[in-house]
Structure 1
């Protein structure tokens, strides 16, 4: 029933700011079109440490970034001129396409008062026909994202199509992405009709087929099975998956179906051809030292950014 259990690994985004990285993983580079999954927080910071959390302007190609918060708020700025604060229950969906740069700034005054920050960020690879689309950004509000409730269960559809629910979040390939809250004893399954499906335990502990799994684990399920996930305690799950897109190359923050496109993206960033956000252009993340060619759905160096 379970193909694989992936344990999150620590990854440093900046001095003093670590996240739990789940995808890509050496035995499972992608889950459907999802090629990247980070879980940041919950984290509390002293006022003098807040600038250390910031993710400076950096580039992307060939993917959509999806930001979803469980607590706190983050300010997004990008080279389209967009400035958007994202709060819990909202979705920031940014399609990089042919190339975009953006920053994530942690400017929430509530962090100074001891409130926590917690966010999930994924990258969704684009189909080949969309890899060079014009960059775009949309913020979706909670009222645009349908919610389902049942005994011991609360669920929000972040994107895609699942359990007969749909929303207006624009996707480029068949996928599902869900936020699920389970009370102790609450039971939940996975959407049918997708060949690749997984459940990330963000908080709590769940049981599947008599075995227990806890926070920081991604459960990857065999195609065609219908597992029952039972909460052993109050738990937060992120369910995701969809149709696979085929091989992708990933190097730093670049994703493409073609090796040579990533080489072009490196040159474009170094030459300033990917513009910085007009309202956040005084600093940026330089291209990492390149010691290897991009590898199939792996590559070097590891992805740096939250989104």
Structure 2
């Protein structure tokens, strides 16, 4: 049986009680497969008239992936994408040499109020792809493969698992699957992926007989098949894939060298990374 490293993460209040839990990067583990950043946002209820307003900001050298269990977000970016994301959809944005985007609560949900819960992740890009042209993909929930096994529903969000492959185009071998367990169900995970982790949202998940705490990232070390079982209804995310090696992270930038990060700072300060059509405000470069 592989060993397990459990990461509790740390909570950040973004204002008004809207909390995100950051699991990656962490001092004990900087990445899992290509995943270099993982935030669990919510669950948080917004009353009518309030919502999320993440002003335009830049990225380089990564792909972002948003997955929602509740609520909606409106994505806009500098390649002209305007796309709402709702539960079960996949928004995959490839930054490459540079992209700018904003994330806001859609008008209808802002007017009515909504509850939001989801995961926001960044995946590093292979060095050979890191300076590619920026792009955006949206896969509606109806096109995301769903497997139904005895007491287990599995959405193959990105990459491949359990003999199914997501239609999302990736540039590295990826495991990203959203799982719902009924009480008493079990799921066998093989070792086709180099690195693997599981993030249960609720208590009740058991790995080869050992309980796994909710809202912690449990990283498997070594290869070998494992069995998950549930003692209660719960949700979990499986993630991992091929490791791309160390990356430098600073603010919203990911690169293999510090020099590339410094160039991205210069480019954003000069506002040469692009703009989001129809939006004039932006998040300035942090001082530290």
Q: TM-score, normalised by structure 1?
A: 0.89
Aligned to 2:36: 35
Aligned to 1:299: none
- The 1-side partners of 2:98 and 2:13 are apart by 24
Residues 1:169 and 2:163 are matched in the alignment: no
Cα offset, 1:278, TM superposition:
1.0
Cα offset, 1:124, TM superposition:
0.6
- The 2-side partners of 1:247 and 1:187 are apart by 34
Q: Gapped runs of 5+ residues in structure 2?
A: none
RMSD across aligned C-alpha pairs, in angstroms? 1.6
- The 2-side partners of 1:234 and 1:103 are apart by 34
- The 2-side partners of 1:252 and 1:96 are apart by 14
**1:198-226 deviations in Å (ceiling 9; x for gaps):** 00112342112333223211111122122
Cα offset, 1:114, TM superposition:
5.0
Q: Gapped runs of 5+ residues in structure 1?
A: 291-307
CA, structure 1 residues 260+12, in 2 after alignment: closer, same or farther (shift >3 Å)? farther
CA, structure 1 residues 191+93, in 2 after alignment: closer, same or farther (shift >3 Å)? farther
Aligned to 2:58: 59
Aligned to 1:159: 158
Aligned to 2:148: 149
Aligned to 1:21: 22
> Alignment partner of 1:109: what SS?
helix
Aligned to 1:284: 282
Aligned to 2:211: 212
> Alignment partner of 2:192: what SS?
coil
Contact 2:99 2:274 in 1 (8 A): yes
CA, structure 1 residues 134+69, in 2 after alignment: closer, same or farther (shift >3 Å)? same
**1:35-88 deviations in Å (ceiling 9; x for gaps):** 0111111110223442xx211111100000001111111000111111100111
CA, structure 1 residues 275+15, in 2 after alignment: closer, same or farther (shift >3 Å)? farther
Aligned to 2:88: 89
Contact 1:41 1:117 in 2 (8 A): yes
Cα offset, 1:112, TM superposition:
5.0
Matching of residues 98-109 of structure 1 within 5 Å: 98-107=97-106, 109=108
CA, structure 1 residues 228+204, in 2 after alignment: closer, same or farther (shift >3 Å)? same
- The 2-side partners of 1:15 and 1:80 are apart by 31
> Alignment partner of 2:269: what SS?
helix
- The 1-side partners of 2:14 and 2:100 are apart by 16
CA, structure 1 residues 4+43, in 2 after alignment: closer, same or farther (shift >3 Å)? same
